[in-house]
Amino acid sequence: MNAMHAIKAQVRNGHLVIDEPTDLPEGTEWKLLLVDKLVDEMDAEERAEFLRELEISGAEADAGQLIDAAEVLAKLRAPV
């Protein structure tokens, strides 16, 4: 993920509908991440840090370095 792009979309009848035109080539694939509305309330420094961390996470995912959330939750729930 070399550059971050944000495109606004809404869910309508179970489908994501992009609310703005794009000049992306046909067939372009996207990884979509659900972002809480609190991001809109972040100041510039918080938003920049969030985007940096998101980019790092994307690179880790591409490299297969993420841990499945179910594994993490299972470890947290396991008795000590």
Q: Residue 1: pLDDT band by 50, 70, 90 thresholds? A: very low
Determine contact, residues 45/39, Cβ cutoff 8 Å: no
Contacts of 19 (CB under 8 A, 6+ apart): 8, 9, 10
Domain extent listing, the chain: 9-77
Per-residue pLDDT at 37: 65
pLDDT digits (tens, 9 = 90+) for 16-52: 888 788 787 888 887 776 766 677 788 889 888 988 8
Dihedral over alpha carbons 72, 49, 8, 37 (to 10 degrees): 70
